[in-house]
Structure 1
Amino acid sequence: MTRKLGGGKLVIATHNAGKLKEISALLAPYGTDCISAGSLGLPEPPETGKTFVENAVIKARAAAEASGLVALADDSGLSVSALDGRPGVYTADWAERQWFEGDPGRDWYMAMGKVEGMLQALGPDTPRDCWFCCVLALAWPDGEYLVYEGRANGTLTWPPRGTMGFGYDPVFVPVGRDVTFAELEPDEKKAISHRADAFAKLVADQFGV
């Protein structure tokens, strides 16, 4: 029997106000009161996992144990078949600038170019199929946890197209479409995204919807 959330507060294991707002809106219809780990002053644990599941569980369990409340964490990224699933858990790391590359921060065009360069180095007939993955981990203070995994399959295109997305969205063409995630209207993208798939599974399991 699946353990259920019930009412009350749910800690979202993030220090990002935008992510808290997005997740709060998704769970609001089910009577869940979301608060962020950042607002509770909880530290961010090192993400030492080798998979999305491992990192999501690390974050959720750390927040649950530190707060004494049920916690929800996510981990997501892009995996490319021809690159043996890379960048995977290093999706954001590939966009990190080094100190000698100028201002600190993330350069997503650089990251997209790295993926494209690696594919081109493999030859013109290299398959370009890929997928976005989102793993949600729901953890209780006693250590028990549940995992929900969402996925959006697609192919990579070059050069990047569109301005409405973020990250690798401008080079990701979802299955059944001829436009990139960054060319889709935000509501249309949300409906078919890996995050939407993961949340649909969580809601179905936890709230029977």
Structure 2
Amino acid sequence: MKILFATNNTHKVNELRQILPSRFELVTPADLNCYDDVEETGSTLEENALIKARYLYSRFGISCFADDTGLEIDALNGAPGVYSARYAGENKDSRENVARVLCELNGENNRKARFRTVIALILDGKEYLFEGTVNGTISVEAKGNSGFGYDPIFVPEGYQLSFAEMDAEMKNSISHRKRATDELVRFLDKV
């Protein structure tokens, strides 16, 4: 089954290609010669995922899905949350985002956090939402060279390694994106 993933983020595309069962063929906007940067103006992950999916659905008229992911830190009242990609500024620099979080948590004992992914699917004009969450903590320093975004400072519950210290197979077996994708796949297998 071919399915359009409404992103040109190569990190997300690579993860989804590893996560999705082989019966799914992931198609990206780039495969359709679409490199538009869809502005994420929503105030929630759900709204942003729907904005991206609706944009591609209206442009191409084919069923598609999009995701939005946020790191939610208890001590920061859920920040960076929906602003995770641009927490340190509009240039969306992961290193700057990580540095800002570490600076804001300096001396903070409560380092509980969660990664949350929301997937918005538009299938034959109908909209569906799926969510995946993984709880964990924020480390005091960045560790590891794998992954992307906040992976070097996020340690999932029950593990001693940050996402960036895990190989792709290990991370993708427990991640928020995996959990949301599993929900999506279960739904698609029923329709």
User: How far apart are the structure 2 equivalents of 1:160 and 1:16?
Assistant: 22
Residues 15 and 39 of structure 1 are in contact (CA less than 8 Å); yes or no, is this contact kept in structure 2? no
The one-letter amino acid of 1:183's match is E
CA deviations 1:39-72 (Å, max 9, x no partner) are 3244333211111111001111111121111011
Residue 141 and residue 40 in structure 1: after superposition, are their counterparts in 2 closer, same or farther (change >3 A)? farther
How much does 1:95 deviate?
4.4
User: How far apart are the structure 2 equivalents of 1:186 and 1:84?
Assistant: 30
Residues 156 and 162 of structure 2 are in contact (CA less than 8 Å); yes or no, is this contact kept in structure 1? yes
How much does 1:23 deviate?
2.9
CA deviations 1:7-60 (Å, max 9, x no partner) are 5x4222122455445434544533x44322233244333211111111001111
CA deviations 1:156-189 (Å, max 9, x no partner) are 1112112223211111111011121111122111
Give the one of 114, 134, 137 matched to 2:120: 137
How do residues 81-160 of structure 1 correspond to structure 2 at under 5 angstroms?
Answer: 81-96=74-89, 106-120=92-106, 124-125=108-109, 127-140=110-123, 142=125, 144-160=126-142
The one-letter amino acid of 2:40's match is E
> Is 2:61 the partner of 1:68?
yes
Residue 159 and residue 33 in structure 1: after superposition, are their counterparts in 2 closer, same or farther (change >3 A)? closer
CA deviations 1:84-115 (Å, max 9, x no partner) are 11111111102447xxxxxxx55433222211
Q: Which structure 2 segments of 5+ residues have no match?
A: none
Residue 85 and residue 71 in structure 1: after superposition, are their counterparts in 2 closer, same or farther (change >3 A)? same
The one-letter amino acid of 2:118's match is V
1:205 corresponding residue in structure 2: 187
Give the one of 155, 162, 186 matched to 1:180: 162
Residues 137 and 147 of structure 1 are in contact (CA less than 8 Å); yes or no, is this contact kept in structure 2? yes
1:34 corresponding residue in structure 2: 26
- Over the aligned positions, Cα root-mean-square deviation in angstroms equals 2.2
Residue 165 and residue 198 in structure 1: after superposition, are their counterparts in 2 closer, same or farther (change >3 A)? same
* TM-score where L is the length of structure 2: 0.87
Q: Which has the larger radius of gyration?
A: 1
Residues 20 and 35 of structure 1 are in contact (CA less than 8 Å); yes or no, is this contact kept in structure 2? no
User: How far apart are the structure 2 equivalents of 1:44 and 1:194?
Assistant: 24
The one-letter amino acid of 1:197's match is R
Aligned length: 189
Residue 158 and residue 25 in structure 1: after superposition, are their counterparts in 2 closer, same or farther (change >3 A)? closer
Identity %: 37
- In terms of mean alpha carbon deviation, does 48-57 or 87-96 score higher? 87-96
* TM-score where L is the length of structure 1: 0.80
